[in-house]
Amino acid sequence: MELDNLTEFEQRAIDAVINLSDGHPRQTLTNTQASVIDRLPQLFKEAADTSLADLESACKRSFFDAIHQHSAPWSEGRVFSVYSSSVATVAVGFALAESNETVALLHPTFDNIHDLLARLVDIIELTDPVDPASAVSDAVGRGATAIFLTTPNNPTGHYIDEPGLRQIVNDCAKENVTLCLDTSFRGFDTRTQFDHYAILESTGIKYIVIEDTGKLWPVSEMKLGFVVVSSHWRRRVEHALSDILLSVSPLVLALVRDLAADATEGGFDVMRQLIDGNRTALLDCVRKLPGVRVLNADARVSVARIRFPDSRAAMHVLEALRTRGVHLLPCGQFHWNAQHEGASTLRVALSRDHSMIKHACDQLTEVWRDYLQGQR
pLDDT digits 0-9 by tens, 200-249 = 999 999 999 999 999 999 999 999 999 999 999 999 999 999 999 999 99
pLDDT on residue 111:
96
- 327 closest CA partner among 10, 7, 8: 10
The ranges assigned to domains in the chain are: 6-30+266-374, 31-261
Element (H, E) at 57: helix 52-66
- pLDDT grade for 3, boundaries at 50, 70 and 90: low
Mean pLDDT score across all residues of the chain: 97
pLDDT over threshold 60, residue 1: no
Burial class (CB in 10 A: 0-12, 13-18, 19+), 295: middle
Element (H, E) at 330: strand 329-330
Q: Which residues pair with 330 in a beta bridge?
A: 346
CATH code of domain 6-30+266-374: 3.90.1150.10
Contact 332, 312 (CB under 8 A): no
Q: How far apart are CA 237 and CA 96, in angstroms?
A: 9
Q: What is the DSSP string of 247-269?
A: ---HHHHHHHHHHHHHIIIIIHH
Summarize the confidence of residues 139-155 as an average pLDDT: 98
| CA 199-204-209 angle, 5° bins | 60
SS3 assignment, position 349 = strand
pLDDT on residue 376:
74
> Would you identify the CATH topology of the domain 31-261?
Aspartate Aminotransferase; domain 2 (3.40.640)
- As a dihedral over the C-alpha atoms of residue 280, residue 283, residue 285, residue 290, rounded to 10 degrees, the angle is -170
Is the previous residue joined to 250 through a cis bond, with omega within 30 degrees of 0? no
User: Hey, how many other C-beta atoms are within 10 angstroms of the C-beta on 323?
Assistant: 8
What proportion of the chain, given as a percentage, has pLDDT over 70?
99
Same CATH topology for 6-30+266-374 and 31-261: the answer is no
SS3 assignment, position 221 = coil
What proportion of the chain, given as a percentage, has pLDDT over 90?
97
Q: Which residues contact 166 (CB under 8 A, 6 or more apart)?
A: 199
SS3 assignment, position 371 = helix
Q: How far apart are CA 124 and CA 203, in angstroms?
A: 25
Amino acid letter, 346: L
Contact 295, 335 (CB under 8 A): no
| Statement: the pTM of the whole predicted model exceeds 0.95 | yes
Q: pLDDT by residue (tens digit) across 246-269?
A: 999 999 999 999 999 999 999 999
